Amino acid sequence: MRYVGVDVGGTLLRVLVESDGVRGAVARHTVPRSYDELVGLVAELAGPGAHTVGVGLPGTSAGGSPVFVPALPWLQGRPLADDLAERLGAPVRLGLDGHLTLLAESVEGAAKGRRSAVLVAVGTGIGGALLVDGRIWRGAHGSAGSWGWLPAGSDTGPDTGGPDTGGPDTGGFDTGGFEGAASGAALGGRGPELVAAARAGRMPPELDAYARRLARGIAALASTLDPEVVVVGGGMADAMDVLGPMLAVHIERLASPDGRRVPVVAAGLGSSAGAVGALLAARIGEDW
């Protein structure tokens, strides 16, 4: 049996193929900037002969069509599942990328064996998911875990992000203060540079300020939901070796007494977790 998992992010596209239980390497490509190019690239990377294909998107879907994908607004309303199924000759299931990431982490990664967990997926935007009693809580409209919509006050000024302060470019939609303040886009493209400097022993003040903004949202989630663990996923999961200690310092100050007891860990599957989750959803079926 051959299953394919596709993780479409705001910037990078990841594809994972499993044939007869053996997985290949995750293929990574820049996300195309048009619908037809995206369909063509996914079809090329997935290849023929799949039994089922799972696709994670940075936004919600209904009836096989993306509904609200602020990072890629040109996807909205297009029959993506049907168009991919026609090209691939296999059924295609769409899902919210945060839900699929936490699915992967609960089965194979940092939340394995947990009955409750919060995922904070930090990439071009901020998404996430919630594990309740061992199941992904999808919400009434499929958007549970959209933590980017949390407010994001700072220690020194008003909320960051939103229509008045200019968060990331999302096709005209306000995506919330937390996303504007603490997504990867909030670093203005300097994330890799700042993380490299920190690893070299030169801690940039901008990175610590970013960690404080990210910690504020994580502290709120840990304090209000009281999960067994908070998992940081998305592209920033690969930077948790430097972000983790900074987050711990700020969370100790910002969280409730019980919130401070919740461990905050990197996604065990790193930035590949979304592709793994999409593959697992393809294999498990609708009841994941």
Residue 173, pLDDT score:
46
List, in order, residues 6 or more apart from 228 with CB less than 8 Å away.
111, 114, 115, 116, 117, 262
Q: Which CATH class is domain 2-99+272-284?
A: alpha beta
Q: Does the fold of domain 112-268 match that of domain 2-99+272-284?
A: yes
Place of tokens 């995750």: 26
Q: Mind listing the pLDDT tens digit of every residue in the chain (288 residues)?
A: 999 999 999 889 999 999 999 999 999 999 999 999 999 999 999 999 999 999 999 999 999 999 999 889 999 999 999 999 999 999 999 999 999 999 999 999 999 999 999 999 998 889 999 999 999 999 999 999 999 999 986 543 333 333 333 344 443 445 689 999 999 999 999 999 999 999 999 999 999 999 999 999 999 999 999 999 999 998 898 899 999 999 999 999 999 999 999 999 999 998 899 999 999 999 999 888
Q: Which CATH class is domain 112-268?
A: alpha beta
Residue 157, pLDDT score:
36
The predicted model scores a pTM of: 0.89
Residue 57, pLDDT score:
96
Residue 263, pLDDT score:
98
Rounding to the nearest 10 degrees, give the CA dihedral for residues 93, 95, 99, 103: 10
Residue ranges per structural domain of the chain:
2-99+272-284, 112-268
Backbone angles phi, psi at 172, to 5 degrees: 95, -5
